[in-house]
Amino acid sequence: MKRAGVDVGGTFTDVVVLDEQEKVTEHKVPSDPSRLEHGVADGLLKTLGGRDKAADLGFLGHGTTVATNVTLERSGPRVALICTRGFRDIVEIARLAKPGSKLYTQKNVMPKPVVVRRDCFEVTERIDARGQVVAALDEGEVEAVLRQVVDRGITAVAVCLLFSFRNPAHERRIREIAARVAPSLEVSLSCEVWREFREYERASTTTLNSYLRPAAARYLANLQAVTGETFPSAALWVMQSNGGLTSAAAASEQPVRLVMSGPAGGVIGARYVADQTGLGDLLTVDMGGTSFDVSLLQSGTASLVDRQDVMGLPLQGRALDIMTIGSGGGSVAWVDGAGQFRVGPRSAGAIPGPACYGRGGTEPTVTDANLVLGLFDAEVPLAGGDLILDYDAAYRACEKLGTRLGLDPVETAWGIRTIVNAAMAGAVRTASVRRGLDPRDFAMLAFGGAGPLHAADIAAEMGIGEAVVPAVAGCFSALGIAITDAVHDLVHTESMAVDSGASDTARRHLTELITQGRDELRQSGIDDSLHHFECSVDMRYLGQNSTLNVPLRQSGRLDSSAEAFHAEHLRQFGHHGPDEPVELVNLRVRAVGAIGRRASSVESAKPSQPPIHGKRRVTVGDGETATAAYYERDKLSPGAQLEGPAIVSSSDTTIVVPPDARARVDGGGHLRISIPKAQGGRA
């Protein structure tokens, strides 16, 4: 049976199908926001080769932007929060901390919660820090609150009570009462969404989950219906922000885990390339239609974080460490009120899209600029033949903006490209240099529909000597989704000093988490023989606020974890206190169902000269042009070597090899660009 991965983006839906021999077939189709689930089925059928091949599909991994879009657009329903009496303002007060970029702003810059204050309801109850009931739950109050919620027309409720991560009894009782008093309500409990301390972050995450549930549940139900009918043999899995798959039912219950669903697929795909190439240290850049995502792999392992910020709101839970900015192929160029030339973060999206798409767009975008600069061939269809670029429309859009700036259309296009490259280089700098890492120690892996167009320029700016464009570049996140495992992350907060008796407590809670993880994998239909568990702990020096995550043996012994904590503290901060008391804060278990695939390394290929499809003039600098050789990627066999300036085109992406750079195709079909102008690094 074949495996498929589908990544629904704001501009395109990417589809990848793998057969038993790991041969990859890819297809890119425009996204239609009004019928996303049908676009998934249509893209799969095109990639498989028609409806008569639909029965060949046995596995379907899906990355979705539904949760992301609802969060960004604030298009979710009205939600309510039920909290402990006296804590109604928990999401309004937040942490009273301004972001660094807003330190000197006098206006209120606190993020706007998804639940308004008038819809925050208090109930009498209290559980203390040890999990003991101090005040019983007033069930009559709960019934009155639930009726009030229904009377207001609210359909989704978040429940976040103090110390419910210690003792969830009161939260679960509220859900039982809701099932009787108001069965139409969708109820999210903080003890199930994320069972960890820090009440504000837990409340923010739970209310966001309630906010996302109606749209996510509706979309996933429609997707299951459409794909179940069209592909009866295919099991549907949904990609999570943590880089693992979950069932559609679990994703519907906890859509807050899907916010970085698509970008996570790209990071998992990077691990696949790392296995093939032996490049363990990779800096990944994913440029699509609306955003630019950066992540790091060290020794083939992606970094995880325990908190994300989504539109300024904290979201607790394990997720791949991905930084996102609003720079994509559809990013619109504009002039601000001070007359400054700007690009993004607003995107033209799929509809109307860039001016060159011919769907009604008139504003110049990054894609339009690249077309005017000669980096696209207007005669070559994109998106699997579904899209013909209109050069004249792109030129007119740049001309219109250039009139305001006093620039000609080509100068305007070059300005757009320069500005967006600078923004993306800044994101790479933040993801590496500001974390104490030297980007020159990494190779850059570039993918997405627009990533390979800009990768060499960004790499040169950052001193990175090698840029790698994977064989399935334009649909790379879909590839990662097709090959990853099922993953459930679990946590238990247990704040205590690491002493002689701590290991016994850790072992007991670790066993509970592993049992819970095994149950969740079984509910997804994954056989016990495919289960494995990765254990870790969050530790800190006594008196610290922040923690570091280090591995933990399944035996639960904490001595080696404490040693690892000291070493990690030294690595990250340049100092440590091996004689200082260490505190355990959280125990974590990653339950993995090994249903994915890992790549094997590939052999090197003999050098060869590929056929040149043609030549054309391209703009390579401010007022500087050159003649670039033009290649078709499907004609480049392993071992092919080319000199810059060169353009390599395929139906899903375009690769730019700048002047003085060289490129070769390795045994896995990945195009590896050496950039001699980069200072240091691998070149």
Domains of the chain listed by start with CATH number:
74-212 (3.40.1360), 486-593 (3.30.1490)
User: Which pLDDT score is estimated for 597?
Assistant: 86
The mean pLDDT value for 210-230 works out to 95
In the three-class reduction of DSSP (H, G, I as helix; E, B as strand; rest coil), residue 496 is classed as: strand
Question: What pTM, to 2 d.p., does this model score?
Answer: 0.89
Whole-Å CA distances, 122 to 134, 137, 143, 235, 368: 16, 11, 12, 42, 53
Nearest-CA neighbor of 472 among 303, 291, 310, 265?
A: 265
User: Which pLDDT score is estimated for 603?
Assistant: 76
Specify the pairing of strand 126-127 against strand 133-135. Answer: antiparallel
* Amino acid in position 509: H
Q: Are 218 and 460 spatial neighbours (Cβ–Cβ below 8 Å)? A: no
Give the least confident one: 34-38, 132-136, 455-459, 488-492: 34-38
Q: Is 291's pLDDT higher than 90?
A: no
Beta bridge partners of 14: 7, 28
Highest mean pLDDT among 103-112, 191-200, 302-311, 432-441: 191-200
Q: Is 221's pLDDT higher than 80?
A: yes
The mean pLDDT value for 76-102 works out to 88
Q: Is 350's pLDDT higher than 90?
A: no
Beta bridge partners of 605: none
* Amino acid in position 34: S
Average pLDDT, the chain: 91
The mean pLDDT value for 656-677 works out to 92
- Round to whole Å and give the CA distance between 231 and 224: 10
Q: Is 48's pLDDT higher than 80?
A: yes
CB atoms within 10 A of CB 582: 22
Joined tokens for residue 280 = 């363990």
Confidence of residue 351 (pLDDT cuts 50, 70, 90): confident
User: Which pLDDT score is estimated for 384?
Assistant: 54
Q: Are 66 and 216 spatial neighbours (Cβ–Cβ below 8 Å)? A: yes
Higher pLDDT, 292 or 81: 81
Confidence of residue 622 (pLDDT cuts 50, 70, 90): confident
Nearest-CA neighbor of 43 among 5, 69, 3, 10?
A: 5
Specify the pairing of strand 646-649 against strand 624-632. Answer: parallel
Confidence of residue 309 (pLDDT cuts 50, 70, 90): confident
- Round to whole Å and give the CA distance between 339 and 336: 5
In the three-class reduction of DSSP (H, G, I as helix; E, B as strand; rest coil), residue 549 is classed as: strand
Confidence of residue 98 (pLDDT cuts 50, 70, 90): confident
Nearest-CA neighbor of 238 among 272, 266, 261?
A: 261
User: Which pLDDT score is estimated for 501?
Assistant: 83
User: Which pLDDT score is estimated for 681?
Assistant: 44
- Residue 313 φ then ψ, to 5°: -95, 135
User: Which pLDDT score is estimated for 662?
Assistant: 95
User: Which pLDDT score is estimated for 382?
Assistant: 65
Give the least confident one: 32-46, 347-361, 374-388: 374-388
- Residue 345 φ then ψ, to 5°: -80, -5
Confidence of residue 680 (pLDDT cuts 50, 70, 90): very low
User: Which pLDDT score is estimated for 601?
Assistant: 77
Q: Is 110's pLDDT higher than 90?
A: no
- 199 contacts: CB under 8 Å, gap ≥ 6: 87, 90, 160, 162
